[in-house]
Each structure stands twice: as C-alpha cells, then as structure tokens.
Structure 1
Amino acid sequence: MAEGEGKWGCTGDEQIIPPEIDTTNPSIARVYDYFLDGKDNFAVDRQVAEMALRIVPDAKDAGKANRRFLRRVVRYLAAEEGIRQFIDLGSGLPTQGNVHQIAQEIDPAAQVVYVDNDPIVLVHGRALLATNGSTTVIQADVRDPEAIYADPALRGRIDFSKPIGLLLFSILHHLNDEEDPWGIAERLREPLPSGSFIAMSNFFNAQDEHPEASKQAVMVEKLFNENLGTGRWRTREEIMRYLGDMELVEPGLVPLADWRPDAGESWEKSATYYTYAGCVARKP
C-alpha cells in the first residue's frame, strides 16, 4: 500500500468501498483512526474529529497516549505476568503496535482475539491477520458478553482454564448509562479464571481533582453524543465499579501517561491529560 493510501487503494473518499461499510454516518473506529493520523476514515468522520479538535486541540495526543498505554500494558502482562492469551474488545482499526505484535514479541505462540462490532474493523483485521495462525478477529458487540465468549473462533484460541488478559481500551465509555455498562463489565469479568487481568482506558471526568479538565470533559461529551450518539466521561468511582473485587496493579487508576511510562515518553499536562485514565487489575 502506498503512503497516504487507505485500505482500498486510493486516498480519501474516492476509494472503492465494500457495500457493508457505511460512509454516511461517523464511525467511532474511524474517528479514532483520524486522531492517530490514519488514512482509513471518511469526510463524515473527519468532520466530527475536527469539531472535537476545536474544543480539545490536543485530542490527537490523547489518542496516541492511549496507544502507548496499550503497548506498555500488553508488554507488562506478557513479559512480567506471563499472560499468553488476550481478548481485545473494541479493538478498532489496526495500526502500528497491535496487541498480537507486542505479545508475540515476548512469545510467538501467544494467542490474541480481536473483537469489534464495526464491519470496517473486520475487513482490515482479516487482511492483516491472513498469515498469523495465533490471532483472529471476530465481529461481535460488547453488550453481549455471552455471545462473545461462546464464539467458536474465540474458543478455538482462548483456554478459559488459564489466565486471560482482557483488554477494554476506549470501549466502556461508549456504553450509555441506560445500557448498564457496570452489569456488562461484571458479565465480562465473572467467567475469567483466577489470575486473569483486565486492562482498560476510559474517558475520565476528574471533577474536584481537576476542575478545568472536568469542564472540558462535559463539553466534549456533549459533542460526541450529538454526533456519534455515544461517549461518557465517568468519575473515578464509576470507573472503579467496572472492576468489582479485582486487585488494582500499581499505580492504580491514573492518567494514561502516568501508568508506568517508558523513558522519554512525554505529554504536556494540559486539561486533556487528565480526561483520559487507565488501569490494570488482577482477578484473585
């Protein structure tokens, strides 16, 4: 693929688009792709992203911080905790430093299942993973944990008698309160065997901790809900409810850039810095 080209062979919206891809409504995965400087997005996605950038000029830094956080987490789980199987829910469009690439640097036999409900992710994932026998991608919805865990493709990769790394990056904040994200998190959490880990990143409303960040969170939440129909900046207490009695790994729930940063990593501590938080927790 030439530099600057999208998945289907030419730049921008002139691509030959598979019929299952809806280019008339913005896609969460494609808006995020734009924030990561990706090429697989359309005018409708860029419009929403640019509106967000007018409120949050460093939103692209937040997207990139999330990817760096994911890489550090997967490396930690594979290298330090010995996790050899991962389920990445709401995996989004492939980019540099995907979960299977990081985990399989530690152990080439590590098993990875990507899960997303966006058909564009399925198209990209299958193309990327065509020659990787230890990794697969399935199309499913996080709102139906039982169907995800029962999927034959997932069961062919993941052994529920051994610890699992469940990755919930930028997914639970796209569930509205009336969809009971806490109940969904419990249904995702309970079948995991002892010694498993949940890692997640979430839009974060810092409230009294950082009032300016909280003000920004309210503004962007309004924009996202008006244009994407989704996006909730939740409080520390609300996010911690996802984990039940799981044990937080140090340093706990913190801004993404503060979770075990690599040497040389930096992100200016703007208001946006405090509106995206992440953590890792272990199931006893």
Structure 2
Amino acid sequence: MKSKLRSLATVICALIFSNVSAQNLNIEGTWRLVSQKTYNADGSYVSRDSTNVYQIKVYTPTTFVNVTEMKVPDEDNQLLVRSFAGGKYAINGDTYEEFTEFASWKNPRGLKVNMKINQENGKLHMVGMVEGTDGWKAKFDEWYSKVDVPEQSKELTGTWKMVSQRVDNPDGSVFNADSTNRTMHKMFTNGMVVVYREQVVPQADNQKLVVSVGGGRYTLKDGVYAELISFASYKGFEKMQSKFNLTIEGNKLHTVGSFTEPNGIVATYDEWFEKVN
C-alpha cells in the first residue's frame, strides 16, 4: 500500500511539475521557421522548410508578429515581406492561441489559431489548427529555431505607438505627422525591432491594413540608437542607415537623429512614441 501511495505521489508531482513548466514556457524573442507541414482535409500534406518558406515569429511578453518573406520576380527576386500579421497571444499549459489584431490583409480579427506548443532541444514546436473567416481551415505542424541576437535593452521591450513625427528634409521642406494621420508602431524585444505602419486602404473596403514593414537587430549604447534592418516590405532596405539619440521618459520614447533612405537621401527625424503594451 505504501509503495502504491509513493508511486501515486510521484505521478502527481510529475504532473504538477509538467504543468507548471508548460505554463512558464517563455517564448520571448525571435524564431525562424525550420520546417512546416500543412495537412489537408483528406489527410494529405505539403511539406516545406526554410529553403522555400521564409517566416519568422517575434514575441514580446504579450504581443506577437508573424513575418513572411517571398522572392519577388519584379524586384530581381529579392526577398521582401509579403505577409504580416500580429496581435496578442496566450499560453495556458501546452495550449497556444493567437488573437490577430492587425495584418497586411483584410478581416484579420476573425482568424483563429489554436495549437499545442512545447520546446524540444531548444526548438519551438507548434501543432494545431488555423481557421480563416471564409471557412478555410488547415492543420499545421511547425518547428522554429531561436534567432540569437545580442541583448540590448529590457527597458525598450514592448510595443510603442508613434505620437508625433517631424521630418526635416535636405531641401528645407518639413513634414509633420501625428497619430491622427499616420499610425506607426515599433515593437521591441531585447535585441530586435519591428517597425510597421498602417493606413486606411480604399480597395480593402476602407479597412486599416499594414502597408509597410521593416525590422532587424538594433543597437543601443550610451543613449545612441541604430537600426540594422534585415527584412522589409520595400526594396533597398539594406541601404538604409539610422543613428538616433534615444531617451525614455516614463512611458514616452523620444528619438532624434538622422535617417538615410534607400535612395540615399538623408533627413533629420524627431519622433515621440508612447508605450501601449
């Protein structure tokens, strides 16, 4: 009897430990797709891997973005971001859910993502269903590997919404914007930044869609901030350069400095952001 009780206690402890470990699963950071299987209703599936699907997931403690790049024939087969979505996510035990709030395509809020999640040998494994608003649904089995980047700033981690922007162009012209006429966010992990801009698109029933995306590593040292863009939705991003003085005042972020556009034009930017999560 004592032996049985000890065995039962061992099983219970193991289950409790397993459950706590799953609930404490930390996926913050950047993950690149290694392999993907998409299952059809008849049980057949299509296999893809990092040689033909270029996808990353970026996570803060509360927010995710999915970035998919494609080779664009009209742009010399350059890899450019052609699909982008993000919002909140939740992990409860081994169950992972995404609640899409913004995207580069119409009606993203109806997308349902419900998967089982775990980590094995440093890789992230997700298996489950994705359902669209049009009735489409499929089962996905995906593996991701962690993208290691030098840690920069825990204080920046989160999502910041642009409050105001002033651009002084070299020809003397000045461009001013605020959150009423330009919706731009910067999402930071401890070493990566994703910048995305939304606007109302008449051809999409006047829905607000993500129309511009750029991201990559950033550096921050002694108050000097720079972005090292490694993926974007526009051509020539590899030529872009930035150097800003950065300060954080409570929940406000202030950056002032120079930005070199892909066409080589250098302008001065003065931007304020407010932390939203």
TM-score with structure 1 setting the length: 0.24
Report the structure number with the largest CA radius of gyration. 2
**Larger relative contact order (Cα-Cα within 8 Å, sequence gap ≥ 6):** 1
Q: Which has the higher strand share?
A: 2
